[in-house]
Structure 1
Amino acid sequence: MRRCFSVALLALLSVSGCAFSDDASEHRTLASFSSESNGESACYDRENEPYTAVVDTHLHYRPFDGRAIPFNEMNEYLSRTTVRFANVYGIGQMLPAESACSNYLKCPGTPVSPTTRNDFVNAANLVEHKPEGLHLTLSMTFTDLSNPEPTLALMEFYDKEYSGLFHWMGEVNLVKQAQFNNRHKAATPQNISQWSAFMAELRARDYPITIHSDLGNNASPTLYLPLMENALALYPDNKIVWAHMGMSHELTNMDASQHIAIMSRLLEQYPNLMIDISWRILDDYYFSKWGNQDKYVAFMNRYSERILPGSDFVAFRGNNFKVYQQELNVTSRIHQFLSDDAFRNIALGENYFKLLNLDYQAPTICP
């Protein structure tokens, strides 16, 4: 049964919506988002339907060590929630196959290296087990942004092996401080200038690229901002998605107004830039922090056509449906405070459909 807010509580909190049920029959079907059927589809009732996203644009079907939740089981998780569209990310940086380590954070010194392994497993699984009732977009996650030279040849190899299946690139790491102890190095300005060949190919294919690029850390909140600005300046015509609004566990105390000002400035300056609000760190340390929520809601309402939702769930065998359900709830929590237009663009997937030129459409919001 859905757990909806009461009218009295709604009036008190000025929110709307429900926490989702895990009964798939209670949620909208994939077909209901078809542009052909949309005119006949019921409007979205925010007071009685869930505020959780229908699209998970940042979902890792594969973990760092290969011990993954089975593909069909992961798809079942989505079907039990509101999610009907998802990006199938691998994780492009994996632990050595012979390593007993499953969490790189607990294994300093063990390399986490770029590889194609996860992408090929995802592609093989999708070919063999294409799910009904879900729309999945395969993403290439192998790219080493600090050594970009092989990227174009590998893209062509992907085309040879799985023609027409991949339509996204990322999540790829420009700078990820969490992996510094595992031999990851931030890409340099010189490296960024060497992306030109594969970025041109992404433009030709009209594929987005999701880049993980830490803004900085608690000691220096904007330490790495120049790297992302360099990438945006060199490739303004690429569809670049900045993962996690630039945040990480290394940066948990940045002033919200400063953060929002940086995001706003770059969104204004680069029309093809989008940001994703995946990973619960944003809600834990920023959106839910006292005094911050209204600021972020105003920001999302203003730039609602430039924001993508996502859980950042990693399908490691030790996780389960309850973990995914919790991550989806937490990363969707702020949706309930958004304006109707912003809710439709972000939570109901309109931005995602437009970004990929999909033949789907978000429902209108009930008056």
Structure 2
Amino acid sequence: MRCCFPFAVFAALLAGGCASSDAPPAGRSLASFKGESACYNRETEPYTAVVDTHLHYRPFDGRAIPFEEMNAFLSRTSVRFANVYGIGQMMPADSSCSNYLKCPGTPVSPTTRNDFVNAENMLKHKPDDLHLTLSMTFTDLSNPEPTVAMMQFYEKRYPGMFHWMGEVNLVKQAQFNNRHKPATPKDITKWVDFMAALRVRNSPITIHSDIGNDASPTLYLPLMEQALALYPENKIVWAHMGMSYEQTTMKASEHIAILSRLLDQYPNLMLDISWRILQDYYFSVPGNQGQYVAFMNRYSDRILPGSDFVAFRNNSFKVYQKELEATGRIHQYLDDDAFRNIALGENYFTLLGLDYQAPKVCQH
């Protein structure tokens, strides 16, 4: 890659462009993504993403990092665009538990509470230096009938503010001990109305759907396959490439074969590479990295980055920074086209039809 020469470095810094290696990892300005901008120097600018498509501004117990403080976290990193997820499943208001994994038996139930808090925060504290997309996270995929009416209520109360749905759970084994049950094949057939409503609104939906577990690697894959087959026109984002802590030993070749087959079959399917489980148990395993890099280069227009950070009140900026770095580490090895599409946000802008564009990567 060709480095920016000194004057270009200076000019780019003023416009939020190429940063020196001694500069803080603050990244470019939001305005620099409007129209043409200085080329992106991969040797001196961050490899972490400019968009965090999987960011939970609200935790399971409601005790969150304040909205403006969370936005300040983003401004201190490379991120200028983010999906504002709540968490659609919360513990009872009178529960003292902050981590459902440590509280088996405590129900984690669908609710609108976090979405409404996020919307109110956006009304009061919308930032000037970030582009935030509100997402509806309330949907219970095992009980879909009320979803359309609730979407209409959202639009009446917060007109024009929500442009995404998810993360919503098709099957999430981590919550089985908290009374979560996977949507059944019959349940999936009942998504017709709300999936049609999402298509009318051109809104993507992010679905958490575990492929399986270490004992039965493809146990739950048929559920996601059915959703894709029934709703091929919907913009479906498969969270975490289908992985989970219950499944950490699948061979990279098998995982990639499943994803490749479905991406080829369903042109509207996208993947997100959020959650550091992918880095820790798949991308970093000896022999795996090259396979995943080749896969991402091949399907570079079908992948979205994300941290999967949850804004628990006790989480610090350093925690967010570490999650962003871990989930973005694979970006370093992508080719320039894939880096622009994924890390620099071009896929995200295209998916939502935003009037922004990713900078081109500097060439030698």
Instruction: Please indicate the TM-score interval, normalised by the length of the shorter structure.
Output: over 0.9
Q: Percent identity?
A: 78
* 2:34 counterpart residue number: 34
Q: How much has 1:179 moved relative to structure 2?
A: 0.2
After superposition, the Cα gap between the structure-2 partners of 1:52 and 1:19, relative to the gap in structure 1 and judged at 3 Å, is farther
* 2:203 counterpart residue number: 207
Q: 1:169 aligns with which of 142, 148, 165?
A: 165
1:319 matches 2:315: yes
Return the alpha-carbon distance in structure 1 between the equivalents of residues 99 and 46 of structure 2: 33
Does the aligned pair in 1 maintain the 2:25–2:78 contact within 8 Å?
Answer: no
Mapping 1:353-364, distance limit 5 Å: 353-364=349-360
After superposition, the Cα gap between the structure-2 partners of 1:354 and 1:97, relative to the gap in structure 1 and judged at 3 Å, is same
Read off the aligned partner of 1:142 and give its amino acid letter. Answer: F
Q: How much has 1:71 moved relative to structure 2?
A: 0.1
Per-residue Cα deviation, 1:266-321 (whole angstroms, up to 9, x for no partner): 00000000000000000000000000000000000000000000000000001010
- Counterpart of 1:254 in 2: which secondary structure? coil
- Counterpart of 2:186 in 1: which secondary structure? helix
Mapping 1:163-242, distance limit 5 Å: 163-242=159-238
* 1:294 counterpart residue number: 290
After superposition, the Cα gap between the structure-2 partners of 1:333 and 1:256, relative to the gap in structure 1 and judged at 3 Å, is same
- Counterpart of 1:155 in 2: which secondary structure? helix
Q: How much has 1:359 moved relative to structure 2?
A: 0.1
* 2:40 counterpart residue number: 44
Return the alpha-carbon distance in structure 2 between the equivalents of residues 194 and 18 of structure 1: 53
Does the aligned pair in 2 maintain the 1:52–1:82 contact within 8 Å?
Answer: yes
After superposition, the Cα gap between the structure-2 partners of 1:358 and 1:341, relative to the gap in structure 1 and judged at 3 Å, is same
Return the alpha-carbon distance in structure 2 between the equivalents of residues 201 and 33 of structure 1: 30
Per-residue Cα deviation, 1:25-79 (whole angstroms, up to 9, x for no partner): xx210000013xx2xx110011111100000000000000000000000000000
1:71 matches 2:67: yes
Mapping 1:76-95, distance limit 5 Å: 76-95=72-91
Q: How much has 1:157 moved relative to structure 2?
A: 0.4
Cα root mean square deviation, aligned:
1.2
1:110 matches 2:106: yes
After superposition, the Cα gap between the structure-2 partners of 1:21 and 1:169, relative to the gap in structure 1 and judged at 3 Å, is farther
Q: How much has 1:23 moved relative to structure 2?
A: 5.5
Does the aligned pair in 2 maintain the 1:21–1:81 contact within 8 Å?
Answer: no
Provide structure 2 residue ranges, at least 5 long, that are not aligned to the other structure: 1-18
Q: How much has 1:132 moved relative to structure 2?
A: 1.4
Mapping 1:337-348, distance limit 5 Å: 337-348=333-344
| TM-score, normalised relative to structure 1 | 0.93
- Counterpart of 1:152 in 2: which secondary structure? helix
1:351 matches 2:347: yes
Return the alpha-carbon distance in structure 2 between the equivalents of residues 20 and 329 of structure 1: 18
Which aligned segments of 4 or more residues in structure 1 are displaced greater than 3 angstroms?
17-24
User: Number of residues paired by the alignment?
Assistant: 345
| TM-score, normalised relative to structure 2 | 0.93
* 1:133 counterpart residue number: 129
After superposition, the Cα gap between the structure-2 partners of 1:74 and 1:20, relative to the gap in structure 1 and judged at 3 Å, is farther
Return the alpha-carbon distance in structure 2 between the equivalents of residues 115 and 271 of structure 1: 31
Mapping 1:243-262, distance limit 5 Å: 243-262=239-258
Read off the aligned partner of 1:158 and give its amino acid letter. Answer: Y
